[in-house]
Amino acid sequence: MDFSIGDLSRATGVKVPTIRYYEKEGLLEEPMRTEGNQRRYRNSDLDRLRFLRHCRGLGLPMPAIRELIDLSQHPDKPCEEVDRIAAEQLQAVRERIQRLKILEKELARIATSCDGGHPVTECNVLKAFADHSLCKGEH
């Protein structure tokens, strides 16, 4: 009902400087202060911070989270925007996976191209790192 920043940190796993950073970025509201200028939070702040952490864990960039917060504060808006953000993020993750899979292929080829025991001048791995034309495609 009245948490210090450390309480909030322990409750959410978000580090103290990160909480202050979110506040500075406008993702958390400025909380009340004690007479001695220390922050005191309420349950709603805890909810907001959990939301934030979950979104960050899901890889949403901060502008997207900002949008979600704005939307959630206009309850009568339709939820298409929210759905769009989720879909975009899913799309972005899928693209990253695709790119990494191409990389994985190249690296697997490179890493197995040498059986060790050479001096580096004859190392196929080093040659493969030097020469993109040995790769099957783009990366």
Per CB under 8 A, residues contacting a copy of itself are 47, 50-51, 53-55, 57-60, 68, 71-72, 74-83, 86-87, 89-90, 93-94, 96-97, 100-101, 103-104, 106-108, 110-111, 114, 116-123, 125-126, 129-132, 139
Asked if residue 92 binds DNA (CB under 7 A), the reply is no
Give the C-alpha distances (Å, rounded to integers) separating 10 from 42, 90, 105.
Answer: 14, 30, 41
Contact 5, 30 (CB under 8 A): no
Contact 50, 12 (CB under 8 A): yes
* Span from 28-36, 86-94, 103-111, 117-125 in contact with DNA (CB under 7 A): 28-36
Non-local (6+) Cβ contacts of 38 within 8 A are: 4, 5
Which listed option, a copy of itself, DNA, none, makes contact with residue 71 (CB within 5 to 8 Å by class)? a copy of itself
